[in-house]
Amino acid sequence: MSLILGIDLGTTAVKVALIDSMTKQVINLQSENTNADIVSTTSPIGNEQSHTKIFNACIVCLHRIEYEQRRQVVRIAVSGQMHGIILWSSTIFNNPASDDYLNLTTHCDVISPLYTWQDARCSDEFLATLPPAESHLQLATGHGCATLFWLKRNVSGFLFGHGREAKFDCAGTIMDFFTAFLCGLKKPIMSVQNAASWGYYNTEQYSWNEKILKEADFPVTLLPEVRQPGCKIGELRAPWQGLPQGTDVGVAMGDLQCSILPHLTSDTQAVVNIGTSMQAVFKCPPGLNPTRSNTLSSLAYFPFFKGTYLTVAASLNGGNVLTATVKMFQQMMQALNIPEEFIQEESIFDMLLEKGKCITETDLVIKPTIHGERHAPNAKGSVTNITPFNMDVGHLSKALCRGLIENLLEMLPREILCTAGVERIVGCGSALLRNKMLQEELERAYCLPVELTTDSNAAVGGAIALLNFWH
């Protein structure tokens, strides 16, 4: 039996999947929270993570898989959180000798933190000082090139060690860092999917905006090589955690593309994922050129596979708004000196769901954009149309769920789905799966059948991608 190993290096957890290369059946799934967040030393609104904790979570997952199964792995697919950036010196893997060659704790001075997609240090004012990009995707805070511009301009000596020698000669997403170590690459290789998520990449010409970046004094030598997803970039350079030396490794891919790949089996389907945030995704119609598209600013076009694109409405507001509401109730109950055992987060969330289900209709209106949106970063939330008859928990819960879906509908109107030939929605994500009100509002808003699936896993999708698109 030959197996494909999928590894997803997510924002909160690492997921690992084993796929039978003949049957495409999932034979093993593992997940481990990373607890990787660290305090930023460079910005009070920075969002940073420890690469060591992320890799350790990966090792924990691998050790839960039987040794004999690990020995049968013939390809490794890696996906993970897009947009973020980590920098390192290629000298740190000059001498691999054993299973410990990914123990990077002794090299922390030449490896930066991971600056994640949630990093907020690049304000609108700062972004306005950057040169316009030749890209169909709008530059935003948290994007790799924007973050590196900020670090170079605001952190003295960030790119240099003692004596002004270069401290870093490589940069990439956390997944590119991981695959570079697996293969011993002197220069990281990045997929088109991740390059587009960094900013300053032209997907029509398949090239970085090097001239623009050089004129702005950007360190272009740090930019990775770029390949198509599904491409082999190397082989495992030494045995690692029971995986055989010489195992093929594919270029790292985006978690969004991989997580929805198993579900977009037809051009008539769209996928709506509601977890911490919310995304609605469908395939671009054949022949659509996103680099010359003139549609809503709330929509983005992400590279998919085989030169195709996805239309994406990516809201920053999803389950995180429900979590903020729960925390508000916790604070109110604490102020009333209610015993701690009665104000647990899970209990309050269940109460909101139960009370909301009892309300068939509400005239309370909640606009839940408390985190703004990428196309409207200054957007705020609001509560309107309050009456004596809707000032209760049930109406609030119902209106909040309706507001989340109405916000998605505003970003991606039903007419656009209909024009694209979408006939049904595949729903996934933890916040959607456990919330009947969100499911009902989604179906009501789009007037399309919603089919729920629990199988939304970028590790699985990444492994399938290497089976379908390997070259």
| Across 46-55, average pLDDT | 94
pLDDT at 276: 80
Please report the pLDDT score of residue 165 as a whole number: 76
Indicate whether 137 and 270 sit together in one domain: no
Would you say residue 144 has pLDDT above 70? yes
199 and 139 Cβ atoms separated by less than 8 Å: yes
Q: Any idea what the CATH number is for the domain that residue 193 is in?
A: 3.30.420.40
Task: Give Cα 471 distance to the centre of its chain.
Answer: 25
Is the pLDDT at 354 greater than 70, yes or no? yes
Does 348 have pLDDT greater than 80? yes
Provide the domain count of the chain: 2
The strand order across the sheet containing 37-38 reads 37-38, 48-49, 114-115
Higher-confidence residue of 105 and 13: namely 13
350 and 368 share one domain: yes
Q: Same domain, yes or no, for 47 and 156?
A: yes
Residue 309 sits in the same domain as residue 409: yes
- The share of the chain scoring above pLDDT 70, in percent, equals 94
Please, is 378 exposed, middle or buried when counting C-beta atoms within 10 Å of its C-beta (0-12, 13-18, 19+)? Answer: exposed
pLDDT confidence of residue 290: 75
Q: Mark whether 249 and 297 lie in a shared domain.
A: no
Q: Which helix (H) or strand (E) holds 394?
A: helix 393-411
Indicate whether 465 and 421 sit together in one domain: no
Does residue 153 have a pLDDT over 90? yes
Mean pLDDT of 322-341: 90
In this structure, of 77-91, 189-203, 271-285, 434-448, the range with the lowest mean pLDDT score is 271-285
pLDDT at 265 (0 to 100): 83
Q: Map residue 213 onto helix, strand or coil.
A: helix
The one-letter amino acid at 121: R
Strands 278-283 and 269-274 turn out to be antiparallel
Mean pLDDT of 182-197: 96
Same domain, 410 and 426: yes
Longest dimension (CA), the chain: 72
**Distance in Å from the first CA to the final CA of the chain:** 21
Place of tokens 């789905």: 417
Helix (H) or strand (E) holding 352: helix 345-357
Q: What is the mean pLDDT of residues 455-462?
A: 88
244 shares a domain with 269: no
pLDDT score, position 106: 52
Question: 343: domain range?
Answer: 263-454
Q: What is the pLDDT of residues 392-408, one digit of tens each?
A: 999 999 999 999 999 99
Q: CA–CA separation, 194 vs 122, rounded Å? A: 19
- Are 25 and 90 members of one domain? yes
Query: Both tokens of residue 162?
Result: 């003692």
Same structural domain, 440 and 312:
yes
Query: What is the band of 95 on the pLDDT scale with cuts at 50, 70, 90?
Result: low
Q: What are phi and psi of 56, to 5 degrees?
A: -65, -40
Query: Tokens at residue 277, please?
Result: 């945030």
- The mean pLDDT value of the chain amounts to 91
Number of other residues whose CB lies within 10 A of the CB of residue 160: 12
Question: At a CB cut-off of 8 Å and minimum separation 6, what does 266 contact?
Answer: none
Q: 209 pLDDT band (50/70/90 cuts)?
A: very high
- The 10s digit of each residue's pLDDT in 300-315 is 999 999 989 999 999 9
Alpha-carbon torsion 246, 255, 322, 443, what sign?
negative
**249 and 373 fall within a common domain:** no
Query: Which pairing describes strands 278-283 and 424-428: parallel, antiparallel, or unpaired?
Result: unpaired
CA distance 435 to 318: 12
Coil, helix or strand for 166? strand
**Mean pLDDT across 100-108:** 56
- Cβ atoms of 229 and 305 closer than 8 Å: yes
For residues 467 and 371, give the distance between their C-alpha atoms in angstroms, rounded to a whole number. Answer: 38
In this prediction the pTM is: 0.87
**30 with 171, same domain?**
yes
- What local confidence, expressed as pLDDT, does residue 160 receive? 80
- pLDDT interval class at 321 (50, 70, 90): very high
What's the mean pLDDT in 254-265? Answer: 90
CB-based contact 248:232 (threshold 8 Å): yes
Question: How much of the chain, in percent, has pLDDT values that exceed 90?
Answer: 75
The position carrying tokens 């398949």 is 206
